[in-house]
């Protein structure tokens, strides 16, 4: 029977269906999902793996009265299809109507904006406690993947939730994968549970007081519905462990799970990307360079917290790195503590991490690394305005966050040559914790020799009366603005500040007699380096203009629009003089 997906406006519309109809529905949803994903890109494996689980969830529970919280929520596409947003999945003209994550701005069925892992159990425990205080009876469900379960907030809350002593349901979606392969002892344990069909003597969930239910085929609707129904309206904590297939139903995704975790548009049959991207890439530049260093020095260790691809560590490169590459799982805190321990032990740790995720280890950066003045190197990726434009993955808060931690040297290179020179310096020195920010946007090169005194600003172009200080990617903007000004007879000094955690006061002192100093910052203005410059020059009559991004959570923004809105185009900068 063919199901008319357009007739599904809410979960109410599937509650009357037979098991057979639900199966047909699932196939229909999967087919449309594959069509959209192959044409549009997105999280392929995670969503294809939970088609049946999501159908079963909405068949058994009564959202939005019952509360379902999806961890990371990159697997919530089918949920969106069943909760009034089907058009965004079946009509190409509406593909972009929805975000890639749960989004309360879209629907009351979505409880939170979520994009970082490991938050669902804590958030759900708050919903459950609020319910208990109100005397409510609704079910509260946290839907979390095996990889996300290893994150600190998830483990803390897994420990806490049973103490509520009331209805609380965790659905553990075990697809045996993180973005890449899983790491951590927990996964050995999950394997043991799967192998024993849930009957292993040792059971970490039972040890924590959960009623434990195992579903061997997590893509089988009947088993899922049975398990969910048995937990519905429980008066205690239940964990349902479902064994699903990541990428289910799409052979290339089942076969290449890491590649098809998230991908751009691709050919459904061959899996080949539809958009060739052969542009030079900072992640490749970084990975090849650090691999050379690792080869030359067995003490150099690269660390990832479950996102090796984010800094170029493909399976092939991981193979080359061997024991000098460590994946701790999605555990930025442990990764940071590990880096501190490695540095103390005489190794040269390099932790590669997305700018949006490094904020998960603020306390470890401060306590484990900075207070101990350990020469651990953090290299962050997708920082700044050219990073990921999703609200939950923004990369432009790192300067404000990390440059204000004492002892941390925050370096922002402006081009590939400076980037690698800074990396060499960071890995070679033994005095400072270092945050090296990978430049954003297209790779740029310079013929100019790199000035390696990174604690001093680099004056790129000597002028007078006006100084434009452009950090990182925005040095190019500063230089373009200078060109425009030169055509008008103004010859500004152009500065590449490079170090954002402290000022080069000797350089700045020269500008006290200038008319105008403009700072350009690829991050939020608040707490950034421009405000430090302004404060330092505050006692001088020089006019200081700080430009950068507004402190706000943008969502799916257009870079050019954001730059213009913040007066960050070369023309706008020039016009300020």
Query: Diameter of the chain by CA atoms?
Result: 81
Instruction: Give the β-pairing of 262-263 and 42-43.
Output: antiparallel
* Binder among 66, 71, 106, 153 for a second copy (CB under 8 A): 153
- The b/e string for 544-571 (b: 16+ C-beta within 10 A; e otherwise) is bbbbbbeeeebeebeeeebbeebbbebe
Question: Judged by CB under 8 A, which stretch of 85-93, 310-318, 390-398, 561-569 contacts a second copy?
Answer: 390-398
Q: Is 86 in the site for a second copy (CB under 8 A)?
A: no
By C-beta, is 114 or 252 nearer to a second copy? Answer: 114
Q: Is 363 in the site for a second copy (CB under 8 A)?
A: yes
Residue 204 touching a second copy (CB under 8 A):
yes
Identify the residue among 178, 403, 415, 438 touching a second copy (CB under 8 A). Answer: 403
Query: Which of 364, 493, 496, 566 is close enough to bind a second copy by CB under 8 A?
Result: 364
Exactly one of 139, 219, 304, 324 binds a second copy (CB under 8 A); which one?
324
∠ CA 544-519-479, rounded to 5°? 125
Site membership for a second copy, residue 546 (CB under 8 A)? yes
Q: Which one of 30-38, 89-97, 397-405, 567-575 is the stretch in contact with a second copy (CB under 8 A)?
A: 397-405
**Residue choice 407, 424, 461, 465 for contact with a second copy (CB under 8 A):** 407
Is residue 449 a contact point for a second copy (CB under 8 A)? Answer: no
Question: Is 184 one of the binding residues for a second copy (CB under 8 A)?
Answer: yes
Helix, strand, or coil here: 355?
Answer: helix
HEC string for 255-289 = HCCCCCCEECCECCCCCCECCCCCCCCHHHHHHHH
Name which position in 349, 433, 492, 570 contacts a second copy (CB under 8 A).
Answer: 349
From the list 151, 249, 472, 570, which residue makes contact with a second copy (rule: CB under 8 A)? 151
Q: For residues 23 and 35, what is the distance between their CA atoms, to the nearest angstrom? A: 18
Residue 299 interacts with a second copy (CB under 8 A): yes or no: yes
The nearest distance, CB 355 to a second copy, in angstroms, is 12
Q: Which is nearer to a second copy, 76 or 263 (CB)?
A: 76
Round to whole Å and give the CA distance between 386 and 409: 22
Pairing label, strands 325-327, 300-304:
parallel
What DSSP state is assigned to residue 450?
Answer: P
Q: Which one of residues 53, 240, 532, 573 is an interface residue with a second copy (CB under 8 A)?
A: 532
Q: Is 14 exposed, middle or buried (0-12, 13-18, 19+ CB in 10 A)?
A: middle
Q: Which stretch in 28-36, 84-92, 180-188, 377-385 sits in contact with a second copy by CB under 8 A?
A: 180-188
Q: What whole-number distance in Å separates Cα of residue 409 and Cα of residue 198?
A: 49
Residues of span 206-265 touching a second copy by CB under 8 A: 206-210
Identify the CA nearest to 351 among candidates 372, 336, 371, 367: 336
Touching a second copy, residues 96-115 (CB under 8 A): 104, 111-115
The rounded distance, in Å, linking the Cα atoms of 71 and 158 is 13
Q: How many whole angstroms from its chain centre is CA 575? A: 36
Query: Strands (DSSP E) along 448-542, which ranges?
Result: 458-461, 466-470, 493-496, 516-524
Alpha-carbon span 540 to 321, nearest angstrom: 52
> Binding a second copy by CB under 8 A: which of 362, 389, 461, 507?
362
How would DSSP label each residue in 200-268?
-S--HHHHTT-EEEEES-TT-HHHHHHHHHHHTT-SSEEEEEEE--TTTT-HHHHH-TTTTTEESSB-T
Tell whether residue 134 is a contact of a second copy (CB under 8 A).
Answer: yes
How many residues sit in the footprint of a second copy (CB under 8 A)?
117
Cβ distance to a second copy smaller for residue 38 or 519 = 519
Q: Is 343 in the site for a second copy (CB under 8 A)?
A: yes
The answer to whether residue 318 forms part of the interface with a second copy (CB under 8 A) is no
Q: Rank residues 219 and 243 by Cβ distance to a second copy and give the closer one.
A: 243
Task: Work out whether 340 is an interface residue with a second copy (CB under 8 A).
Answer: yes
Q: Is 178 in the site for a second copy (CB under 8 A)?
A: no
User: Should residue 527 be labelled a site residue for a second copy when binding is judged by CB under 8 A?
Assistant: yes
Q: Minimum Å distance from CB 102 to a second copy?
A: 10
Residues in CB range of 447: below 8 A, 6 or more apart: none
Tell me how far apart the alpha carbons of residues 214 and 230 are, in angstroms, rounded to a whole number: 12
Residue 3 binds to a second copy (criterion: CB under 8 A): no
Alpha carbon distance 451, 399 (integer Å): 22
Among 47, 54, 107, 336, binds a second copy (CB under 8 A): 336
Query: Quick one: which segment of 312-320, 418-426, 429-437, 518-526 binds a second copy (CB under 8 A)?
Result: 518-526
Q: Using CA atoms, how far apart are residues 361 and 351, in angstroms rounded to an integer?
A: 12
From candidates 234, 367, 429, 446, binder to a second copy by CB under 8 A: 367
Taking the complex as a whole, the smallest distance from the CB of residue 550 to a second copy amounts, in Å, to 9
The smaller minimum CB distance to a second copy, of residues 26 and 364, is found at 364
Applying CB under 8 A, which of residues 24, 27, 132, 284 lies at the interface with a second copy? 132
401 binds a second copy (CB under 8 A): yes
> Which of 323, 487, 488, 489 touches a second copy (CB under 8 A)?
323
Q: Are 116 and 72 in contact (CB under 8 A)?
A: yes
């Amino acid at each position: 029977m063919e199901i008319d997906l357009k007739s599904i406006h809410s979960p109410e519309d599937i509650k009357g269906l037979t098991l057979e109809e639900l199966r047909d529905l699932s196939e229909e949803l999967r087919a449309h999902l594959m069509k959209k994903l192959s044409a549009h890109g997105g999280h392929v494996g995670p969503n294809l793996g939970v088609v049946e689980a999501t159908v079963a969830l909405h068949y058994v529970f009564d959202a939005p009265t019952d509360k379902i919280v999806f961890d990371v929520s990159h697997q919530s596409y089918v949920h969106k299809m069943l909760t009034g947003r089907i058009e965004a999945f079946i009509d190409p003209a509406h593909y972009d109507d929805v975000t890639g994550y749960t989004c309360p701005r879209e629907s009351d069925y979505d409880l939170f904006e979520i994009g970082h892992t490991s938050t669902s159990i804590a958030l759900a425990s708050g919903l459950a406690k609020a319910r208990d205080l109100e005397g409510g009876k609704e079910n509260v469900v946290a839907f979390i993947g095996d990889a996300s379960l290893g994150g600190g907030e998830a483990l803390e809350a897994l420990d806490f939730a049973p103490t509520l002593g009331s209805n609380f349901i965790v659905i553990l979606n075990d697809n045996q994968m993180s973005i890449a392969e899983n790491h951590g002892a927990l996964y050995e344990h999950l394997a043991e549970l799967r192998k024993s069909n849930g009957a292993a003597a040792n059971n970490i969930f039972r040890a924590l007081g959960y009623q434990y239910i195992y579903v061997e085929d997590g893509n089988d609707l009947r088993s899922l519905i049975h398990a969910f129904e048995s937990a519905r309206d429980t008066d205690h904590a239940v964990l349902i462990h479902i064994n699903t297939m990541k990428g289910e139903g799409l052979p290339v995704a089942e076969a290449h799970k890491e590649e098809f975790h998230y991908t751009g548009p691709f050919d459904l049959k061959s899996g080949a990307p539809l958009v060739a991207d052969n542009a030079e890439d900072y992640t490749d530049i970084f990975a090849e360079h650090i691999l050379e260093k690792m080869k030359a020095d067995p003490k150099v260790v690269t660390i990832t917290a479950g996102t090796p691809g984010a800094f170029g560590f493909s399976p092939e490169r991981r193979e080359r790195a061997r024991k000098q590459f460590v994946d701790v799982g999605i555990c930025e805190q442990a990764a940071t503590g590990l880096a501190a321990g490695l540095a103390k032990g005489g190794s040269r740790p390099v932790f590669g991490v997305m700018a949006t995720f490094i904020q998960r280890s603020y306390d470890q950066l401060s306590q484990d690394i900075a207070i101990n003045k350990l020469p651990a190197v953090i290299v962050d990726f997708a920082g700044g305005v050219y990073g990921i434009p999703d609200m939950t993955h923004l990369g432009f808060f790192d300067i404000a966050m990390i440059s204000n931690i004492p002892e941390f040297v925050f370096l922002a290179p402006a081009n590939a040559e400076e980037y690698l020179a800074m990396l060499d310096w960071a890995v070679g020195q033994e005095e400072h914790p270092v945050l090296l920010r990978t430049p954003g946007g297209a790779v740029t090169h310079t013929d100019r020799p790199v000035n390696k005194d990174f604690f001093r600003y680099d004056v790129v172009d000597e002028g007078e009366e006006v100084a434009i200080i452009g950090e990182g990617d925005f040095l190019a903007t500063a230089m373009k603005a200078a060109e425009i000004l030169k055509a008008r007879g103004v010859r500004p000094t152009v500065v590449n500040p490079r170090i954002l955690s402290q000022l080069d006061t000797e350089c700045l002192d020269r500008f006290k007699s200038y008319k105008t100093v403009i700072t350009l910052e690829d991050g939020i203005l608040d707490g950034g380096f421009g405000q430090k410059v302004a404060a330092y020059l505050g006692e001088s009559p020089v006019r200081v203009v700080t430009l950068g991004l507004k402190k706000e959570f943008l969502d799916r923004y257009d870079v050019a629009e954001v730059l213009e809105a913040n007066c960050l185009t070369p023309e706008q900068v020039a016009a300020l003089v």
